[in-house]
């Protein structure tokens, strides 16, 4: 069942969203070549806790860390590790959730570490653009298919693969709620968007091919092609005045 939030519930979601967005922004500013993904995760977790929230991901389904940190050909759900060091030229996707006052905020961004290749720059640019093209369609009266189609159309025009196995979702009192929000679809199809709905729109885009595989750790998702992957996400509220980003950072 799709949850429609009241004004007071949306205010609580904005509080959770700001903490998640700021933690993501702070984490991105903290990335340095040579640091471990474990160190980066602790920086993000400390920010969330210091601001009175809990990391949404820690313990979720058994996930052991506060943030998912995925490097280069890792699409999503990378587990922070003391053994993995971030290198100059990497692209690093950080996915963060914060829970406070009964609600979650969920957001992600793919960061460049130092100078990255032109191909990587283009992948990041196009994927982030597709996020905002999807957000533009998150208006009352539209349908979920309008959001997914906008993302898919933009990314496939550049020859990229849109991951289909993993998708966006509703978010609120639970980290994952109805409706499902695919990054592909047909205009005019799917659940209708109404004011008060809150959804996590999160394109996961591969440089080559849509296929993915999961490592034996049961979490880390990689591109099957071995190509780079980018991931951008905002929690978005559908309002009478258009889409509102609940996870926009204030730092």
pLDDT in tens, the chain (251 residues): 899 999 999 999 999 999 999 999 999 999 999 999 999 999 999 999 999 999 999 999 999 999 999 999 999 999 999 999 999 999 999 999 999 999 999 999 999 999 999 999 999 999 999 999 999 999 999 999 999 999 999 999 999 999 999 999 999 999 999 999 999 999 999 999 999 999 999 999 999 999 999 999 999 999 999 999 999 999 999 999 999 999 999 98
Range of the domain at 182: 7-245
What whole-number distance in Å separates Cα of residue 251 and Cα of residue 249? 6
Q: What share of the chain is helix, strand, coil (3-state, %, to 5)?
A: 30, 30, 40
What CATH number is attached to the domain comprising 20? 3.90.230.10
In a domain, 2, yes or no: no
Instruction: Examine residue 161 and state whether it is found in any structural domain, yes or no.
Output: yes
How many domains are contained in the chain?
1
What is the model's pLDDT at position 183?
Answer: 98
The verdict on residue 42 lying in a domain is: yes
Domain assignment present for residue 1? The answer is no
In whole angstroms, what is the distance from residue 161 CA to residue 63 CA? Answer: 27
* Strand 168-170 to 177-181 pairing: antiparallel
* Domain-embedded: residue 251: no
């Amino acid at each position: 069942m799709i949850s429609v939030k009241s004004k007071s519930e949306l205010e609580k979601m904005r509080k959770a969203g700001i903490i998640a967005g700021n933690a993501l922004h702070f984490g991105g500013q903290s990335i340095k070549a040579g640091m471990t993904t474990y160190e980066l995760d602790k920086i993000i977790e400390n920010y969330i806790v210091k601001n009175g929230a809990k990391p949404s991901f820690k313990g979720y389904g058994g996930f052991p860390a506060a943030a998912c940190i995925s490097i280069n050909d890792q699409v999503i759900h990378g587990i922070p590790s003391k053994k993995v060091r971030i290198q100059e030229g990497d692209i690093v996707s950080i996915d963060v959730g914060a829970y406070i006052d009964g609600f979650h905020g969920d957001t992600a961004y793919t960061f460049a570490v130092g100078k990255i290749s032109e191909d990587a720059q283009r992948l990041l640019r196009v994927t982030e653009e597709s996020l905002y093209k999807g957000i533009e369609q998150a208006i009352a009266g539209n349908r979920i298919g309008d959001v997914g189609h906008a993302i898919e159309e933009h990314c496939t025009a550049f020859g990229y693969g849109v991951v289909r196995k993993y998708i966006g979702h509703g978010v609120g009192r639970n980290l994952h709620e109805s409706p499902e929000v695919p990054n592909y679809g047909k205009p005019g199809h799917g659940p209708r968007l109404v004011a008060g709905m809150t959804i996590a729109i999160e394109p996961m885009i591969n440089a080559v091919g849509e296929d993915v595989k999961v490592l034996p750790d049961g979490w880390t998702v990689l591109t099957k092609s071995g190509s780079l992957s980018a991931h951008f996400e905002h929690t978005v509220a559908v309002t009478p005045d258009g889409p509102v980003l609940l996870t926009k950072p204030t730092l």
